[in-house]
């Protein structure tokens, strides 16, 4: 079964919009796991406009599934990850002012930098994943860095799913197949939803984990968090 990691950034965004600690991101993570989530994902940014660095520290003791921290490996982020030591770190090349992630790494151009960062994280027992576009050359480049996994950036799939879903998923299936052959684990995330996740799971071989936040939180406003998590788990079954 493909694991569901719930990204709780949007819960932090709501908290920060009002001040105080409502909603409580730690309690939300506790509940998400209780409802069946197999991981918790956070993506702290330097301006801490949603998840704060302290949230990562507060979440560490209560995440008993998989703890995934995403982000651009600037110096402060590297220090945070080495301090918290999550299950997995996902390297994302987002600019400091990006609203959300909008591109994968050029794993060929940045091979040296990625290799160095990955080696440091792995030396502390942290599994590494690189956020990549669905391009075969980038999968091969990722392999050369020594990473454990890749995370396929799925915005393009989500955008085109309603127009021609087979064409939309084809590059992802091809990249996953190559990653499997190269011994890389395959994760995916960005704009996946209850509408498009089952087909993606069906067509992408060896999919280990999906990270879903925005859609899951939005869907939960209508259907309830526990119900939505169960719906995702059902769609991700083999």
CATH label of the domain that carries residue 141: 3.20.20.70
Choice among 70, 151, 209, 219 that is catalytic: 70
Number of domains, the chain: 1
Choice among 50, 66, 190, 219 that is catalytic: 190
Scanning the chain, the segments in alpha helix (DSSP H) are 9-18, 25-34, 53-59, 75-84, 111-122, 136-145, 155-160, 165-182, 197-203, 214-223, 225-235
CA gap 39, 123 in Å, rounded:
22
Whether 66 and 89 have beta carbons less than 8 Å apart is answered as no
- In this prediction, residues 231-236 reach a mean pLDDT of 98
pLDDT at 103: 81
Total residues belonging to the chain:
238
CA gap 142, 138 in Å, rounded:
6
pLDDT at 82: 98
Give phi and psi for 147, each to the nearest 5.
Answer: -65, 155
Report pLDDT digits (tens) over 87-103.
Answer: 999 999 976 655 555 68
pLDDT at 102: 63
- Residue 43 a catalytic site member: yes
Structural domain including 174 reads 3-235
Peptide bond into 160 cis (omega under 30): no
Report pLDDT digits (tens) over 16-27.
Answer: 999 999 999 999
Token pair of 152, please?
Answer: 């396929």
Q: Whole-number mean pLDDT of the chain?
A: 96
pTM for this predicted structure: 0.95
| Residue 144 burial (CB count, 10 A) | 13
Choice among 43, 50, 66, 209 that is catalytic: 43
- Residue 160 a catalytic site member: no
CA gap 200, 202 in Å, rounded:
5
Report pLDDT digits (tens) over 114-154.
Answer: 999 999 999 999 999 999 999 999 999 999 999 999 999 99
């Amino acid at each position: 079964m493909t694991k569901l990691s719930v990204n709780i950034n949007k819960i932090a965004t709501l908290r920060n919009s009002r001040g105080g600690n409502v909603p409580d991101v730690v309690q939300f993570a506790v509940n998400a796991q209780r409802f069946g989530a197999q991981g918790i994902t956070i993506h702290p940014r330097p301006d801490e406009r949603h998840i704060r660095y302290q949230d990562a520290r507060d979440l560490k003791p209560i995440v008993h599934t998989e703890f995934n921290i995403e982000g651009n490996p600037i110096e402060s982020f590297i220090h945070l990850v080495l301090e918290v030591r999550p299950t997995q770190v996902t390297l994302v090349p987002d600019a400091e002012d990006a609203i959300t992630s909008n591109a994968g790494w050029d794993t060929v151009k940045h091979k040296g930098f990625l290799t160095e960062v990955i080696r440091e994280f792995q030396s502390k027992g942290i599994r590494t994943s690189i956020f990549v576009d669905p391009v075969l050359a980038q999968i091969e480049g990722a392999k050369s860095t020594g990473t454990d996994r890749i995370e396929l950036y799925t915005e393009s799939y989500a955008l085109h799913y309603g127009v021609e879903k087979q064409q939309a998923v084809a590059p992802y299936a091809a990249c996953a197949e190559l990653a499997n052959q190269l011994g890389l684990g395959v994760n995916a995330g960005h704009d996946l939803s209850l509408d498009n996740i089952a087909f993606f799971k069906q067509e992408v071989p060896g999919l280990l984990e999906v990270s879903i936040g925005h859609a899951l939180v939005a869907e939960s406003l209508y259907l309830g968090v526990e119900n939505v998590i169960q719906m995702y788990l059902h769609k991700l079954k083999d």
